[in-house]
Structure 1
Amino acid sequence: MGTADDRRFEVLRAIVADFVATKEPIGSKSLVERHNLGVSSATVRNDMAVLEAEGYIARPHTSSGRIPTEKGYREFVDRLDDVKPMSSAERRAILTFLESGVDLDDVLRRAVKLLAQLTRQVAIVQYPTLSTSNVRHLEVVALTPARLLLVVITDSGRVDQRIVELGDAIDDGQLGQLRERLGQALVGKPIGAASIAVSELASQLVGHGGLGDAVGRAATVLLETLVEHTEERLLLGGTANLTRNTADFGGSLRSVLEALEEQVVVLRLLAAQEEAGKVTVRIGHETAAEQMAGTSVVSTTYGSSGKVFGGMGVVGPTRMDYPGTIANVAAVALYIGEVLGAR
């Protein structure tokens, strides 16, 4: 790229930085005063005219100041040399805070709270999806001789508890056999294979008296648990942060809040994450969701040992601190995976 293009990108970078910090349109004089661009104010004005003509910046009203456009933010993000580095103390603080979570729910709640505080945006974490998990443990507890509690724990830390009402009471010996057979069918298998195995087990034991009936009833409940939920759960935090930047949304804040509440749009954006561990930035219309006009979504995945558990990220106005947000999203995702993978 030529020298003039490099210089214009530095002007664009300066405009983005100042606009994110001040919320005010940026003029050439202030750029020269605040940044060591090494050129005159007249040159900066000419560069701003070219950037405006090419659609990277725009004049919001009759003043001489300019603001970045979605195209300008895209160029800025695509040419980020590096993200803001986090200190070792900051990284330790994140890990320590997440490690203090007592279970999956607590770890994810802590992650959402932390990410919202770090970025001052809306933080989103998707609960681990069942389809990517293996069954780590199955517990069968007799609440009464004719009523059982099934507890399924996956390797992502997800815990599902279901009640099974039996047609007839079973004794301790039958309970032990039931626990052993279901455990052999499920434990250590991916969710899909576990679903097939428990279904086949129920078919094999049809007509085997009380144990067969108990396995059949337990299998029916387990299949409801193991089959992928049609609507995965999301945890959101920091929604009130959007109200600090109402003007950034151009009157569309209500539709953004509705989209967050409905979750469908956000789940689709998280599901579109193309590469594990990579942070993706969708700016404005790149979200392909009319309700999300004026927003940017910075997202990634979290997991352990190469396995993706779910998606996470933040939603905020296009006027956001992209380097800092990308760094924070990446760090929290890394440590969620480490904490859950170690349990």
Structure 2
Amino acid sequence: MASSEERRIQVLRAIVADYVANQEPVGSKAIVDRHNLGVSSATVRNDMAVLEEDGYITQPHTSAGRIPTDKGYRLFVDRLADIKPLSAAERRAITNFLDGAIDLDDVLRRSVRLLAQLTRQVAIVQYPTMSSATVRHLELVPITPARLMLVVITNAGRVDQRAIDLGDVITEDNAARIRDSLNSALAGRRMTDAASRVAELPDQAPSDLRDAFTRVCTVLVEHLVDHPEERLVLGGTANLTRNVADFPGSLRQVLEALEEQVVVLKLIAAARNPGAITVRIGEENEDEQMRSTSVVSIGYGRDDMLLGGMGVVGPTRMDYPGTIAAVRAVANYVGQIVSGG
């Protein structure tokens, strides 16, 4: 890259850094005073003129200052060579906070609270998806002599329950026999593969258990193939109200969009691999209501096993390096905890 091009990138970085910090248009003199670029104000003004002509910065009003555009933020993010990792103290704080969780629900609630505090944005965490999960254990709990509670526990710690009306009484010993047969056939299988295996089981059941076995398997198949809309946890919505001016359209429409689960799921749907960060800025967001925001999202899990997604939503005037570092660190710890690593 030619030196003049690299210098313009440095000027853009300076404008982004100062505008994120101060929410004020940035002028050439401020850049020279605050950033050691080794060039004159005149040179910086020339570079700013080129950046403006190319659509990376814009002049919001008649002052001499400039602010980044969505295109400018995108170039800034794409040129982030290194993301400064969190300090040892910050990492210990994350570990201590998340290690105190008592179950999956608590892990995700703590994660959202922590991510919202670290980034001062809206935090989103998706529950582990059913399609990527495997069956860890099945339990059949007698409620009455003719009614059982089916409990399905996945490798990600997700627990789902379904009631089963048997139409006839069953002993606890026979319920245990059915449970053991199901665990023997299904434990360790992916949820998506388990449904076809369950359909075969009633034909293999002992004749004295076949009716009860069939009823249990029917409910279990329905559970395995019925993947309702994934559950989400949101936190820190009030953070968006700190600077209403960051949302030139309407903050209300952003808040309304965040109430719609489908919209929020789309925001983190780009996550495909654990640890892969996606940043969508302004107009890059599919939903029109969210085009005054930026979304930093990531998949969490372990190795190549994607369990779910998480991320933050905030204004385009965002501390991208700090936000990316925080999202990545929290996702790393959540992935380890949820996958049992």
Report if TM-score (shorter chain) is over 0.5.
Answer: yes
Question: Which amino acid is the alignment partner of residue 247 of structure 1?
Answer: A
**Range with bigger deviation, 81-90 or 57-66:** 81-90
User: Where do 1:34-183 residues align within 5 Å?
Assistant: 34-183=34-183
Cα distance, 1:170–1:237 mapped onto 2, change above 3 Å: same
Residues 253-268 of structure 1 mapped to structure 2, 5 A cutoff: 253-268=251-266
Tell me what 1:222 maps to. 220
**1:208 — aligned with what?**
207
Post-superposition Cα deviations, 1:220-253, rounded to whole Å, max 9, x if no partner, equal 2222322252311111010111111211111322
State whether residues 129 and 228 of structure 1, in contact with CA within 8 Å, keep that contact through their aligned partners in structure 2: no
Secondary structure at the counterpart of residue 282 of structure 1? strand
Q: Alpha-carbon deviation of 1:77?
A: 0.4
The equivalent of 2:14 in structure 1 is 14
Q: Deviations over 1:152-192 (max 9, x none)?
A: 11011111122112100111332222112222232111101
Q: For residue 338 of structure 1, what is the aligned residue in structure 2?
A: 336
Between the aligned partners of 2:59 and 2:16, the Cα distance in structure 1 is: 14
- Between the aligned partners of 2:130 and 2:114, the Cα distance in structure 1 is 25
What is the RMSD computed on CA atoms of the aligned residues? 1.5
| Corresponding letter in the other structure for 2:240 | L
How much has 1:271 moved relative to structure 2?
2.1
Is the CA contact (8 Å cut-off) linking 1:136 and 1:153 kept in structure 2? yes
**Distance in 2 (alpha carbons) for counterparts of 1:185 and 1:229:** 21
Structure 2 counterpart SS, 1:143: strand
TM-score if structure 2 supplies the norm length? 0.96
Cα offset, 1:293, TM superposition: 1.2
Indicate conservation of the 8 Å contact 2:300/2:308, yes or no.
yes
CA contact (8 A) 1:125 1:235 kept: yes
Q: Is the 8 A contact 1:130 1:228 kept in 2?
A: no
Which residue type is aligned with residue 155 of structure 2? Answer: D
CA distance in 2, matches of 1:320, 1:269: 17
Bigger drift between 100-109 and 261-270 goes to: 261-270
By how many angstroms is 1:203 displaced?
4.7
1:99 and 1:154 mapped to 2: Cα distance?
20
Mapped partners of 1:226, 1:71: distance in 2: 44
Q: Give the Cα separation in 2 of the matches to 1:137 and 1:126.
A: 22
CA deviations on 1:35-89 (whole Å, 9 max, x unpaired) are 1111111111111111101100000111111000001001100001211221122
Counterpart check, 1:309 vs 2:307: yes
Distance of 2:190 and 2:226 partners within structure 1: 12
1:189 counterpart SS class? coil
Q: 1 CA distance for matches of 2:38 and 2:241?
A: 38
Q: Which residue of 1 aligns with 2:185?
A: 185
SS of the residue 1:38 aligns to: coil
C-alpha separation in 2, matches of 1:245 and 1:223: 49
- The superposition leaves residues 263-302 of structure 1 with CA deviations (integer Å, 9 ceiling, x where unpaired) of 2122123222244311111111111221111111100100
Check conservation: 1:273, 1:301, Cα contact below 8 A: yes
Give the structure 1 partner of residue 288 of structure 2: 290
Gaps of at least 5 residues in structure 2 are: none
Residue 198 of structure 2 is matched in structure 1 by 198
| Inter-partner Cα distance in structure 1 for 2:312 and 2:78 | 18
Any idea what SS the aligned residue of 1:301 has? strand
How far apart are the structure 1 equivalents of 2:186 and 2:85?
43
TM-score by length of structure 1 reads 0.96
Deviation at 1:306, TM superposition (A): 2.4
- Cα contact 1:131–1:228 (8 A) shared by 2: no
